[in-house]
Amino acid sequence: MIDIGVNFHSSQLKGLAPELLARAAAAGVTHILATGTSLHASELALAFAGSHERVWATAGVHPHDAKHWDAASIAAFEAMWADERVVAVGECGLDYNRMFSPMHEQRAAFEAQIAAAVRTGKPLFLHCRDAFDDFAAMLRDAAAAGAHGVVHCFTDGAAEAEAFLALGFDIGITGWVTDATRGSALRDALRVIPADRLHLETDAPYLRPKNAGKTRPYNEPALLPFVARAVAELKGMDAAALSAQATANSRRLFKLPE
């Protein structure tokens, strides 16, 4: 299995890499993408990927950090995007929920990262929260320019999923799907998301699957099978078949080796 999103740089996972990777491998999670959400986090993700054979990195600026996007960071990101261990541009997008960065700065950083993805041919690792109209409009222009990628940690409903799929973007599913209350829209959206267009992720240490029971206080890649089981059940599929399909999807999108 492939976990397409883990925040190894987070305070909750700091210093736990050896045991996290060991438990992930034991659970059948053999490939992991370390998520870059800022310049510093992207540098950490790339360094981590360079030290672990089955870890790759994304590099980009999350909308929360968009206010720090500047010429100096662009130069640093250009070098990272050229690295073969960086398999996606992002996490990038728009977030109008907490507004840690102003809208115009979020859009400017997102536009620049879209351009980088088109230029490099690498997929976008996307984030959208409470910003669907602007986000979809920018993705339409991106798709027309040749951009592709995945809407990471998708939590919206069927209409939004269909809009992204129609533009050619895949959908990333987290443990949010195991929450029958907060995840009801996502659970409904799975009926319109084809199995060959979805990806599995933990977004660790966040969004711990509700069906995983109580072990550690944080989410981790070893819990990805619980996300797979929930998705398979909702789609009326065998969990092994669903996991195999999602793995093939992620390997294709991110150009990961066997």
| Residue 69: pLDDT band with limits 50, 70, 90 | very high
| Residue 71: pLDDT over 90 | no
Its pTM surpasses 0.95: yes
pLDDT of res. 29: 98
| Residue 153: pLDDT band with limits 50, 70, 90 | very high
Phi then psi dihedrals of residue 96, to 5 deg = -100, 15
| Residue 245: pLDDT over 90 | yes
CATH code at position 207? 3.20.20.140
| Residue 178: pLDDT band with limits 50, 70, 90 | very high
Mean pLDDT of the chain: 97
| Residue 210: pLDDT over 90 | yes
pLDDT of res. 258: 82
Question: Domain limits at 170?
Answer: 2-254
Number of domains in the chain: 1
d(CA 95, CA 61) in angstroms, rounded, equals 12
84 is in an annotated binding site: no
127 is in an annotated binding site: yes
| Residue 116: pLDDT over 90 | yes
**Closest to 108 (Cα-Cα) out of 72, 63, 158:** 63
pLDDT of res. 214: 85
Phi then psi dihedrals of residue 170, to 5 deg = -85, 175
d(CA 91, CA 57) in angstroms, rounded, equals 10
91 is in an annotated binding site: yes
pLDDT tens-digit readout, 72-87: 889 999 999 999 999 9
